Amino acid sequence: MCETDVPSFFTRGSKFLLLDGKNDSLKPIQKVTLRVDPHGHIVYWKPWNVESQRNYIFTQDIVDVRTGKATNRQSNSDNIRTSIHDNVLATCLMTVVDNVDFIHPNYTTLAYLEDNVKNLKTWAEFLFQLSYRRRRRHYGVLHHVRKRLAPFLYASNIERASEQDVRYYLERLAKYGDCSLCCARTNNGRHRSFEEVSQGRHIDYGRRITEMCGYY
């Protein structure tokens, strides 16, 4: 039995346009499918754009989900309309705000691309309520292991990895916590991503993970 039964609407996902909110105008990055993993650990989008550095947000870290003109924190509506497709208005915007230290919030802004714009409110309300429930509860160690593995299970481009790789990351999670889980250090000191470490292996990644963690 899973901890959270996420409705299929969110696991299937919806089409959004990922926007770059770092500049003076909200420039489009790429079209993505926004999803929530079946256990509610992360909200993520695919395909993954390397330049965006990350393609997921831990739901427990979400502190606000804004829709419509309230999401426009750097540009007026005229700039938005000229920087994205004509049929995407400011009212189709959703910004997910996540924060782990109360000082450096992250803003992820997306424009809804599907026909029924009312579903944008459904997305915003679900993500905020899911985060609220997660933050109010206390969980055991296994929950946090599953949470930290969720990006690799659902948001990663890697389909296969060796059992040795999986055990290595579980050991680093237990020993060092969150920060060093996502990368390994090479002989010359350069950090390798999980994708680099796992590339070319022959054991099914998802199956080995689920067996080791008793995920289902």
Better-predicted residue by pLDDT, 165 or 197? 165
Write the pLDDT tens digit of every residue in 145-168: 788 888 888 887 665 555 666 666
Query: Which range scores top for mean pLDDT: 61-70, 111-120, 130-139?
Result: 111-120
Angle at alpha carbon of residue 147, lines to 50 and 109, rounded to 5°: 45
Better-predicted residue by pLDDT, 44 or 149? 44
pLDDT mean over 105-119: 91
Q: What is the pLDDT of residue 147?
A: 85
Q: What is the pLDDT of residue 161?
A: 55
For residue 8, with 0-12 CB atoms within 10 Å meaning exposed, 13-18 middle and 19 or more buried, which class applies?
Answer: exposed
34-38 long-range contacts (CB < 8 A, ≥24 apart) are 34/110, 34/123, 35/10, 35/11, 35/154, 36/6, 36/10, 36/11, 36/126, 36/127, 36/130, 37/6, 37/11, 37/150, 37/153, 37/154, 38/2, 38/6, 38/11
Q: Are strands 42-46 and 191-193 parallel, antiparallel or unpaired?
A: unpaired
In which residue ranges of the chain is CATH 2.30.29.240 found? 8-136
Domain 8-136 CATH assignment equals 2.60.40.420: no
User: Closest Cα partner for 170 from 215, 212, 216?
Assistant: 212
Beta strands in 23-114 (DSSP E): 27-36, 42-46, 56-58, 62-67, 93-98, 106-112
Write the pLDDT tens digit of every residue in 79-105: 554 554 444 456 789 999 999 888 889
Residue for token pair 């714009």: 117
pLDDT mean over 55-70: 88
Write the pLDDT tens digit of every residue in 11-42: 999 999 998 866 656 788 889 999 999 999 99
Compute the half-sphere exposure of residue 180: CA atoms within 13 Å on the CB side of its CA. 12
Query: Which range scores top for mean pLDDT: 74-78, 127-131, 163-167, 202-206?
Result: 127-131
For residue 138, the Cα-to-chain-centroid distance in whole angstroms is: 21
Query: Which range scores top for mean pLDDT: 28-32, 88-92, 124-128, 198-202?
Result: 124-128
3-state secondary structure string across 141-182: HHHHHHHHHHHHHHHCCCCECCHHHHHHHHHHHHHHCCCCCC
